[in-house]
Amino acid sequence: MRSRCASEESVYRIEAMPVILITCPHATCAIPEAYRELFSEHQELVTSVEGWEPGALNLAQALSMKFSTQLIYGDVSRLLIDLEQEGEKRWSRVSSQLSEVARKKIVARLEKKFRNENDMRVKECFLRHDCAVHLIIRTAPLSNGHIVFEYAGSEAAEALAFSASKQLSAGIESSCIALDPKSSLEEWLLDCFTDQNYGVIRLTVAQSFFLQSVPMRWDTVKKSIIQALSAEVKP
């Protein structure tokens, strides 16, 4: 799956061109009507970076349009339920106040729906394609406007992560590492789809790009990410 170019530095290349799948777990800070009273005294918390990941949905939508693929995204604040986690890790200090019955309803209505959408999307993909890389789009308060590619599963995912990280525009700092630890969502996906042609890349972009245009304008960074990924995948 990998070969060396003629240059002194090793460059990862992808022989089996993968199809891209896209999931954005923390896309919004929305609280459903039924739970707004619970969060009525926590509005600033909900709209803060604890409640969602600014810029993640914007990037995920742009990637979805570029690769003509369905976007699966979390449509509630992670302060209500963290769709990447399981057990007690799902609940914030606010939602943990809910009764066990209420929390079970949230899991049934929101988490299971989210996971079923991801499950169906991957299965549909493999009906038509042989190789898929699942991008999990995240933003975080990383320092120095950093971008991190973390890969797991197939060699195609590893190769794409390394290739994309090297093809970003000059001035954008990036790193590429194995995905460890994995979120419960990522563990679940990799357990469900153990085929050697399925892999996951968690793409985490510094929120400073989106919130302050520091150290570079968001549109510039977004364009660079799209170009870096599209160079190695099926249209």
Give all domains of the chain, ordered by start, each with its CATH number. Answer: 19-230 (3.40.630.40)
pLDDT for 66-98, tens place per residue? 999 999 999 999 999 999 999 999 999 999 999
The average pLDDT across 29-39 equals 97
Task: State both tokens at 87.
Answer: 């057990």
Quote the pTM value. 0.91
C-alpha 46/C-alpha 77 separation (Å) is: 7
Determine the Cα–Cα distance for residues 101 and 83; give it in Å rounded to an integer.
18
Round the average pLDDT of the chain to a whole number and report it.
Answer: 92
Give the pLDDT mean for 214-222. Answer: 96
Would you state the pLDDT for residue 234? 61
Give the pLDDT of residue 4. 32
Cβ atoms of residues 179 and 200 within 8 Å:
yes
Count, residues in the chain: 235
- 8 Å CB contact between 25 and 115: no
Per-residue pLDDT averaged across 129-142, rounded?
Answer: 96
